[in-house]
Amino acid sequence: MNKYQQLSEQWLLATKRKSPTRDLVQMFAQADWKEIATELNDDNHKKAFWINIYNAQVQYLLTEKPVLFADKSLFYSNPMLNIGGKKLSLNLIEHGLLRRASPIISLGYISNPLPSRFEKEYMISVKDFRIHFTLNCGAKSCPPIAFYQAQFLESQLDTAMAGYLEEMCRYEEETKTVFVPKILFWCRNSLVLAPTFSIIF
């Protein structure tokens, strides 16, 4: 297994168990971006790594600095994750890298035509709406936290999507209405619905 992929899983496990994370945080702070770039050589490796990193960082902050969650705008936008000397925000990881430079307010309809050099190098090459079913932002309605590995990613993403939708969605036959969680509002450009159905977020 790749070094940094393994570290991302170890960090996520430690945050879930509320185990000491100081050594892992320090390892990421001293990471070598050239090595990371070599490891993240395709979309599956990028997705698995960044999903794990995102979920680990959220859990780390909720445990170590819970007061920050009171201001959710700063919680997601403030660059507090140090990887190889570069500070990253949760928004950058989610919207810049995993959603391929899609601004938050775009709802997935448009992408930033001028992504940063960093985003160009480390973001995925093809958007994957299943990512929305893997990211746990700290809210109760968020998908459960799981470990993701590049070699199993396709089946893991399908399982995550199916499990979340089965649990969180409801269909009303009489009105032909599908009730879905708010999370789908943010990726509604990815939703494909029959024209005879209405959808309520």
> How high is the pLDDT of residue 165?
87
- The C-alpha angle 81, 85, 90, rounded to 5 degrees, equals 20
- Pairing state between β 81-83 and 86-88: antiparallel
The answer to whether the CB of 30 falls within 8 A of the CB of 84 is: yes
Residues 12-28 as b or e (16 or more Cβ within 10 Å = b)? bbbbeeeeebeebbeeb
pLDDT at residue 17, as a whole number: 94
pLDDT for 196 equals 47
pLDDT at residue number 188:
64
Write the Ramachandran bin of 176: left for phi over 0, alpha for psi from -120 to 50, otherwise beta: left
Locate the domains of the chain by residue range: 3-167
List, run by run, the mean pLDDT of 10-residue segments along the chain (201 residues). Answer: 92 95 96 97 98 98 94 95 98 94 67 86 94 90 91 96 89 86 69 50 48
